[in-house]
Amino acid sequence: AAHSLYITDEVVEENETSDFKDIYVSILKNTKKHRGGIKVGHFLLADKTYASPLGDFDKSKVIGYVACFNPHDDSPIHVSLNNEQLPFLTDYEYDNSCHSDITYDKEEDDFDGYKHTYDIANADDYSANLFKAVDHCINYSTEGTNKGDWYLGATGEMIAIAKNLIFINAAIMIVGIGEKFK
**pLDDT tens for each residue of 4-59:** 343 344 444 444 434 556 656 655 555 556 667 888 888 999 999 999 888 899 99
pLDDT at 71 over 60: yes
Average pLDDT value for residue range 92-116: 68
* Beta bridge partners of residue 64, listed in sequence order: 44, 80
> Mind listing the pLDDT tens digit for each residue in 148-160?
999 988 889 988 9
Query: What pLDDT sits at residue 165?
Result: 86
CA dist 54 → 10, 107, 117, 165 (Å)? 24, 34, 33, 17
Q: How far apart are CA 26 and CA 29, in angstroms?
A: 5
Contact 51, 60 (CB under 8 A): no
**Least confident window among 67-76, 107-116, 157-166, 170-179:** 170-179
Of 98 and 137, more confident: 137
Query: Binning pLDDT at 50, 70 and 90, where does residue 176 land?
Result: confident
Burial string for 33-62 (b: 16+ CB within 10 Å, else e) reads eeeeebbbbbbbbeeeebbbbeeeeeeebb
Average pLDDT value for residue range 103-107: 65
Query: What pLDDT sits at residue 129?
Result: 87
Query: What pLDDT sits at residue 57?
Result: 92
> Mind listing the pLDDT tens digit for each residue in 118-161?
999 998 888 888 888 899 989 999 999 999 999 988 889 988 98
Contact 59, 86 (CB under 8 A): no
Of 63 and 98, more confident: 63
Contact 70, 111 (CB under 8 A): yes
Q: How far apart are CA 125 and CA 112, in angstroms?
A: 21
pLDDT at 68 over 50: yes
> pTM value?
0.75
